[in-house]
Structure 1
Amino acid sequence: MSDSVLDRIRQNRKRAVVPERSDSLVASLPSSEAVTPDDTTPKENTGATLEELKQELAKLPKTRRHSAIVLEEEIDTNLTRFCKDQGITVEVFLEAAWMLAAADEAVMSQIMAEAKRRYKQRKQAGKLRRLITMLEKQT
C-alpha cells in the first residue's frame, strides 16, 4: 500500500522544466576564478579544458580527510577564533605548525614533552569517565 501511495505522490508532483544549457561551464570560467598553482593571483585560463584543469590540480599537494580532532574547550575556542581572524582553517594552521616543528628538533622536543603530558591527562580523564559510568549503572 505504501508503495502505491508513494508512486502516486511521485506522479502528481510538478517539476519545473529547466532548458538545457548550450554553453560549457568549463570553457566559460571567468579569468578571475582561475589561479596559479603557487599563489592566488588571477590567471588567464578562460579556454581551459577539463584535462588542463586536471593537470594543474595534479601539481598541487594532495589532501586527505583526517578524523575529527578533539581539543580542550578553551583551546578550541581560541584556536578557532585565531584561525578565523587570520582567514585560514584550523587544518591549514596544523599543517603549517607541523612543517615548522618537524624542521626544528628543539621545537619538536618541546612539543612532544607537552603532548605526552596532555596524553596522560586525557588517559586519566577517560579512566575517570569510565569509572563514573560504571558506578552510575550500579545505582
Structure 2
Amino acid sequence: MSDSVLDRIRQNRQRPAVPTRDDTLISRVQQPEAPQNLEVVETPPETQVSAATPMTNDALEDLKAELAKIPETNRHSAIVLEKELDQSLTRYCKDNRITIEVFLEAAWVHTTANPKAMEEILLEAKRRYADRKRAGKLRRLITMLEG
C-alpha cells in the first residue's frame, strides 16, 4: 500500500518549469589572443583570478603547473575538542588568519622534526585519550541506569 501512495504523491507533484538562462557574462565575441611571450609574475595569495576572465592555453598551463607544486589536501573526519580548548584554539587561529587544520599540519611538521616535543605531546595525547574513554564509559553507564 505504501508503494501506491508514494506513486500517487510522485504523480501529483508539480514542479515549476524553469526558463532557460541567458549567460550575459560570457562574451559572444572571440577575445584576441594574448602575446605568446607571457612572463610569470608572482602575485600575492590574496589575488584571485576571475572565472569570467578569458585565459590563453599557456596561462592555463602555467596555473596548472603552479598548482601541481602545492601539496594535495585530503578531507579528514571532524575534529572533536574540549570546549575551552576549542574556543581558545579557534580564537588563536582566527587572530592569525589560519584554519585549525592548517595549524594542525604545521604542528605535525614541527613535531616530527623534534622527537622530544613529539614524545611530550604523545604522552599528553594518551592521557587525554584515556580521559575521553573514561568519560564515554561513564556516560554509557549513566544512560543505562537512567533508562
TM-score after normalising by structure 2: 0.69
Q: CA deviation at 1:106?
A: 1.0
Q: CA deviation at 1:52?
A: 3.5
Structure 2: distance between partners of 1:70 and 1:122? 11
- Residue matched to 1:40: 45
Over the matched positions of the two proteins, sequence identity in percent amounts to 50
Structure 1: distance between partners of 2:41 and 2:127? 43
Q: What is the count of residue pairs matched by the alignment?
A: 123
Return the index of the structure with the highest Cα Rg.
2
Structure 2: distance between partners of 1:118 and 1:19? 55
Q: CA deviation at 1:71?
A: 0.4
Instruction: Detail structure 1 runs of 4+ shifted over 4 Å in the superposition.
Output: 34-37
- Residue matched to 2:134: 124
* Correspondent of 2:21 among 4, 17, 24: 17
Which blocks of at least 5 consecutive residues in structure 2 are unaligned? Answer: 1-7, 34-39, 49-54
TM-align CA RMSD: 3.2
Structure 1: distance between partners of 2:10 and 2:129? 54
* Correspondent of 1:73 among 78, 83, 87: 83
Which residue identity does 2:19 align to in structure 1? R
Verify the 8 A CA contact 1:83 1:90 in the aligned structure 2: yes
User: After superposition, what is the alpha-carbon deviation per residue over 1:71-111, rounded to whole angstroms, capped at 9, x for unaligned?
Assistant: 00000000001100100000000001111111111111111
* Correspondent of 1:53 among 38, 45, 63: 63
Structure 1: distance between partners of 2:133 and 2:101? 24
